[in-house]
Structure 1
Amino acid sequence: MKTILIAASAALLVSTSAYAADIVVDQAPLPVAAYDWSGAYIGVNAGGGFGKFKHPFSVTAAQGQGIGGSLDITSGGFLGGVQAGYNWQSGQMIYGVEADFQGSAVKAEDSLDLNIFGNSVSGELGTKIDWFGTLRARIGYTPVDRFMVYATGGLAYGHVESYINAEANGASILDESKSKTKAGWTIGAGAEYAVTSNWTLKTEYLYTDLGKTTLIDTNINGANAKLENDVAFHTVRVGLNYKF
């Protein structure tokens, strides 16, 4: 009888141990796949641009008298466009290139009211960015799965139009306009989140400098007048990308 009880107890222990082992295996967590940022993408974006467009000027009379300064005008307007790029991921680091092209309504316009060598000069001055684009490198980091922060910078280019009309003592002395495609640079930062395996949302800030252009360098009533535009601005935009 004692032998039967011992055998039954041993069998029960073995069965309980096997069951417990099965429970441990069943509770093991399934591995979670990390999002892979590598690959090509295309997308759209929209936002706004703002800043100050500077217009350095100088007027030098035949007698050597001269005045100078800068007409700084606040700029602003809507922008929107498309982008495309490619990412390479290594661990938590992402390296990429991106190109974008923007239609722009960013402009700065103001009236003139100056006193030049005793003459009252009035008129209007304006500068507008018709379109611009960038070609940039991106370096990103993923602190958590599906979320990336990045720095970016590179080449910028755009088409800029400027105009000035002015009169002195009731007579027209200037009526000029000029348009030019300019090249410069841009730098900024952003953040991007993968909503699904293919769709990502991003927000981005860029500072863009398209450099200086001479608008006027001419003689007016015996004085040399020179006027430039210096176009630099900030942009903030949101975008939607499709990753292949």
Structure 2
Amino acid sequence: MKTILLATAFLFVPAGMALAADPTETLPVAASYNWSGGYFGAQAGYARSDARVGQTFAPGSFDNYGWGYSPSGGFGGVFAGYNKQFDSGLVVGVEGDYSFASVKDTTLYRALGVDDPAFGGELELEAVGTVRLRAGYAIDRWLPFVTGGLAVASYKHTTTNIPGGPYADVRDTVAGYTLGAGGEYAVTDNWVVRGEYRFADFGRHTSVRHAFSNGAPLNRDAIELTTQDLRIGVAYKF
């Protein structure tokens, strides 16, 4: 008889505990990842460009006399920024980056649609930096985002007498705008990986090449430059 009473007690104790529990109470849920905070990282990628360096000695000469380039190549550098996440999941931030580049192309001078086999040129994009705003929507550890802001690029343009070799060049800096989109994933609470696409347009900018022999300035040129790139990066979030 005692054995039956003990067994009955053990059966009813868990049931009583369950009935005593608040039926509206929910189990605790793991906290979502929060993107707020500063970060610093490294990036690398591949870029393709469309560029023209045209002469400006007369109206219409830019389109009819000059060099058409399609530079391409790799780049790598660093970036840093700060994000703020709101309760709605919206994430806004500011970010800056700087990359060294080797994005270049060679071509022949063209006048009125005809290539000059004795006159060539090389255009190289040497560095690019940006300062941008960012906006995204947090999906726990995922963050898709869009970005846009100021872009600055340093380039070198060298002209060559074939087969005599380079005879004049210019190094200069151009400014424009950049737009992009990408996504990030927080691998841990501190380490974040990303992939991103960017477009940049630097408009038209004038410059003057100088002769290697005596430093004399040559006729003024103008450059138009746009770039597109794909990049990946990894950052440490503080």
The residue number in structure 2 matching 1:220 is none
The residue number in structure 2 matching 1:130 is 126
Match of 1:153 among 134, 148, 154: 148
- Structure-1 separation of matches of 2:194 and 2:103: 22
Match of 1:109 among 106, 120, 132: 106
Letter in 1 for 2:32: A
- Structure-1 separation of matches of 2:120 and 2:33: 54
- Secondary structure, counterpart of 1:34 in structure 2: coil
Is 2:52 aligned against 1:77?
no
Letter in 2 for 1:85: G
- Structure-1 separation of matches of 2:112 and 2:106: 20
Deviation at 1:200, TM superposition (A): 0.5
Deviation at 1:197, TM superposition (A): 0.4
Match of 1:196 among 176, 188, 191: 188
The residue number in structure 2 matching 1:235 is 229
- Structure-2 separation of matches of 1:110 and 1:103: 23
Worse-matched range after superposition: 34-43 or 72-81: 72-81
Contact in 1 for aligned 2:109/2:115 (Cα 8 Å): no
Could you report, residue by residue, the CA deviation over 1:109-159 in whole angstroms, capped at 9, with x for unpaired residues?
11335479x9966311121111111000001112x2110111101111121
- Give the share of equivalent positions with the same residue, in percent: 29
- Structure-1 separation of matches of 2:176 and 2:60: 34
- Structure-1 separation of matches of 2:15 and 2:31: 33
- Structure-2 separation of matches of 1:241 and 1:119: 47
After TM superposition, the structure 1 = structure 2 runs for residues 23-172 of structure 1, keeping only pairs within 5 Å, are 29-57=27-55, 68-69=63-64, 71-91=67-87, 92-112=89-109, 114=111, 122-142=118-138, 144-166=139-161
Contact in 2 for aligned 1:162/1:215 (Cα 8 Å): no
- Structure-2 separation of matches of 1:127 and 1:229: 10
Contact in 2 for aligned 1:198/1:242 (Cα 8 Å): yes
What's the Cα RMSD here? 3.7
In the comparison of the two structures, how many residue pairs are matched?
A: 220
Structure 1 residue runs without a partner (length 5+):
1-9, 218-223
Distance 1:66 1:83, change over 3 A: closer
- Structure-2 separation of matches of 1:14 and 1:65: 96
Letter in 1 for 2:122: G
Worse-matched range after superposition: 132-141 or 203-212: 203-212
Distance 1:28 1:138, change over 3 A: same
Higher strand share: 1
- Structure-1 separation of matches of 2:232 and 2:189: 19
Structure 2 residue runs without a partner (length 5+):
1-7, 210-217
Deviation at 1:11, TM superposition (A): 7.7
Could you report, residue by residue, the CA deviation over 1:44-94 in whole angstroms, capped at 9, with x for unpaired residues?
00111112112234665xxx9979426422110110000000000012100
The residue number in structure 2 matching 1:185 is 177
Letter in 2 for 1:74: S
The residue number in structure 1 matching 2:4 is none
- Secondary structure, counterpart of 1:105 in structure 2: strand
Contact in 1 for aligned 2:53/2:62 (Cα 8 Å): no
Worse-matched range after superposition: 11-20 or 85-94: 11-20
- Could you say which structure has the larger radius of gyration? 1
Report the TM-score, using the length of structure 2 for normalisation: 0.78
- Secondary structure, counterpart of 1:17 in structure 2: helix
